[in-house]
Amino acid sequence: MRKKLAAVEKELAALRADRNSRARELPRPLLADYEKILKARSGIAVASVNASAICGGCRMAIRPQAIQELKAAQAPMICENCGRYLYWQESA
């Protein structure tokens, strides 16, 4: 059991280091918003949207115009209902 715990802790440390290095690349205001949403939404700050046009975080419908903007991915988009950052996920 201790070996498993050590392996998980090692993997977690590697993931945290990767996250921290990627976070340094983001603009400060964006990172601050992300951290705020992360705390407010039980650790889930990003949600997917697919062809069903439903936010993966709060299950509310996304406006058709917002779907088009999300597909174009020109700027970060936030769900109008739950406030999570959204990303477009192609159907498999």
Q: Degrees (nearest 5) of the Cα angle 34, 28, 75?
A: 65
Type of residue found at 49: V
Q: pTM for the full model?
A: 0.77
pLDDT band at 75 (very low <50, low <70, confident <90, very high): confident
| Tens digits of residue pLDDT in 4-59 | 999 999 999 999 999 999 999 989 999 999 999 999 998 999 999 988 999 999 99
Copy the structure tokens of residue 27: 């603009």
Type of residue found at 13: A
